[in-house]
Amino acid sequence: MSAASEKLASDIVLLDTRGENRFTDFFVICSAESPRQIRAIQEEIERVLENWGVFPHHHEGTADSGWLLLDYGSVVIHIFSAPVREFYQLDKLWEGANPLLRIQ
């Protein structure tokens, strides 16, 4: 989450989804102002985790689409533009998940 915060991601939330699904333990959801910022957040997250020897299983979406997903197995990271985040409302979809941290 600090990697996203370093690149000025906003409304960062960490959800414990272990009781809600079987495909991941945690969701990180954050917002960005532009495709360029989405890419910057993605690159910083990947750089930090690669330094720890952690690599994503796969990516989905694109910065230009306003949504990018990084799948690390037990952690799935969603980086959204504000309008796309509002459209998909993952925060509400997973409202049963335990919010562990929120950084406005």
Query: For the segment 28-86, what is each residue's pLDDT rounded down to a tens digit?
Result: 999 999 999 999 999 999 999 999 999 999 999 999 999 999 999 999 999 999 999 99
DSSP string of 3-23, one letter each residue: HHHHTT-EEEEEEE-TTT-SS
Q: What's the number of domains the chain is made of?
A: 1
Average pLDDT over residues 79-103: 89
- Alpha-carbon distance 35 to 29, whole Å? 16
Q: pLDDT value at position 10?
A: 87
- Alpha-carbon distance 30 to 10, whole Å? 6
pTM for the complete prediction?
Answer: 0.90
- Domain of 46, in residue numbers: 2-103
1 has a pLDDT exceeding 60: no
Give burial (CB, 10 Å; 0-12/13-18/19+) of 58: exposed
Cα torsion through 89, 39, 48, 94, rounded to 10: 10
CATH number of 80's domain = 3.30.460.10
49 or 8, greater pLDDT: 49
